[in-house]
Amino acid sequence: TETFVGHQVLRIFAADEFQVEKVKELEALEHLQLDFWRHPIHSEFPIDVRVPFDSLQGVKVFLESNGIRYSIMIEDLQSLVDEEKLFMSRQHF
Amino acid sequence: MPRSIETFNYASYHNLDEIYDFMDLLVGENSKLVSKIQIGKSYEGRPINVLKFSTGGSNRPAIWIDTGIHSREWVTQASGVYFAKKILEGYGKDASLTSILDNFDIFLEIVTNPDGFAFTHSKNRMWRKTRSQNSGSSCVGVDPNRNWDAGFGEAGSSGNPCTETYRGPYPNSEPEVKAIVDFVKSHGNIKAFISIHSYSQLLLYPYGYTSKKAADQAELDALAQKAVEALTSLHGTKYKYGSIITTIYQASGGTIDWTYEQGIKYSYTFELRDTGRYGFMLPASQIIPTAEETWLALMVIMEHTRDHPY
């Protein structure tokens, strides 16, 4: 079973089209194994991306060094998955 | 499992077996109004089931609703379950729904991507695609919302099997897509087609693969506005609406571009609610509010379809 321990979901707010393009650069870096839940489109829409633990530092440094604002939407994805499983098993029981 | 659809827990997420059992329960209790049709088999051999709500007649005009083509979008499948109950409960009680069902059949595909959905429950909660093997690649699965024969392969999809938007080797390569295509073509009288996703709070109409305007853009836009107003009226959830390409991004090979080009004028796709905190992990406590607000918008589209024959 795939686990998501330490994975975070970041909500990125690109201020302009230039920053959107910078985030698209991230999207192209396959080794980061990013999973875009909401893709970079234009600055009006926030971007949500699941970042594996190993890529977190690199992604955050990239965003900060380019002045791109972000917040942590989900602190630890696995804990939410665990909560969901627990809720389902309780309901089932 | 509950012994009746009354005791089924609509406020919880359920796995594939539970949803399929629910469908059987629904049909068993209400066989005069609802039946189950298997329109195909998934890549891994699971049945692809559709509920048919019908009050009789042959080849009546129909409304199609599907939920959960992207398997990880659990609130959509859960909403589909809620819609099934709502249709059943409403017939004979809700005058508008009754008149819709007296004139139209409603087809509801609750789990559009059964393999992917089962995979999200067993192996990878974040799985989005189908589970087909890709020749020459170790990466599995095709994005079933890039696999339709509408601008297939153009910008807005990927040719790389390892991406989440991989379009597949050719249009309709995925049995989950092909099953719907064959069904829609053989039916020939579907008047509205609504494909439901989550999450971004959007109501979208064609096109996604091209910037050309749909011939019915004005009507589709006005109807979307009305549907969104109804949705928002319940819990204040804010939606945007418009064509796919102008509202979100260019996406080729998408479901409703294909259905629209087949002549199904009222082709829409929803992106259900997102609080901005959970994404695909929307807590179960939000299933009912999400489903009930979406139902209001669905009713607006279905009523308009009923009242504007073409």
Is 90 exceeded by the pLDDT of residue B4?
no
Q: In 3D, which of B223, B235, B15 has the Cα closest to residue B110?
A: B15
Which amino acid type is present at position B247? T
Pick the catalytic residue from B109, B174, B271, B303.
Answer: B271
CB–CB of B167/B227 below 8 Å?
no
pLDDT score recorded for residue B295: 98
Residue whose structure tokens are 């589209």: B301
ipTM, interface predicted TM-score of the complex: 0.94
- Which of A1, A2, A79 is the mutation pick for testing B, counting most B CBs within 10 A? A2
Report how far residue B52's alpha carbon sits from residue A46's, in angstroms, rounded to the nearest whole number.
38
Residue pLDDT, tens place only, B104-142: 999 999 999 999 999 999 999 999 999 999 999 999 999
Helix (H) or strand (E) holding A74: strand A69-74
Q: In Å, how far is B164's CA from the nearest CA of chain A?
A: 8
3-state secondary structure of A54: helix
In the β-sheet with A69-74, what is the strand arrangement from edge to edge?
Answer: A35-38, A47-51, A8-13, A69-74
Distances in whole angstroms, Cα of residue B162 to Cα of each of A34, A52, A53, B61, B138 = 12, 16, 20, 40, 8
Dist CA B242 CA B310 (whole Å): 22
Q: How far is CA B246 from the centre of its chain?
A: 21
> Is B12's CB within 8 Å of A88's CB?
yes
Give the count of beta carbons closer than 10 Å to the beta carbon of residue B7.
9
Q: What is the mean pLDDT of residues A38-59?
A: 93
State how far residue A55 is from chain B, nearest Cα, in angstroms: 17
pLDDT band at B154 (very low <50, low <70, confident <90, very high): very high
Q: Report pLDDT for A93.
A: 64
Average pLDDT over residues B142-165: 95
Strand pairing category for B266-272 and B202-205 = antiparallel
**DSSP string for residues in B24-54:** HHHHHH-TTTEEEEEEEE-TTS-EEEEEEE-
Kindly tell me if the per-residue pLDDT of A19 is higher than 80.
Answer: yes
How many pairs of residues across A and B have Cβ atoms under 8 Å apart? 57
Residues of B in contact with A35 (CB under 8 A): 126, 164
The confidence band for A91, taking pLDDT boundaries of 50, 70 and 90, is confident
Q: Do B279 and A73 touch (CB under 8 A)?
A: yes
pLDDT tens readout for residues B200-233: 999 999 999 999 999 999 999 999 999 999 999 9
> Which pLDDT belongs to residue A27?
87
Q: Chain B residues within 8 A (CB-CB) of chain A?
A: 9, 12-14, 122-126, 162, 164, 200, 248-249, 276-281, 283-284
SS3 content of chain A, % helix, strand, coil (to 5): 45, 25, 30
Across B2-16, B161-175, B192-206, least confident range: B2-16
Q: B183 near B39, Cβ under 8 Å?
A: yes
Concerning whether B271 is annotated as a catalytic residue, the answer is yes
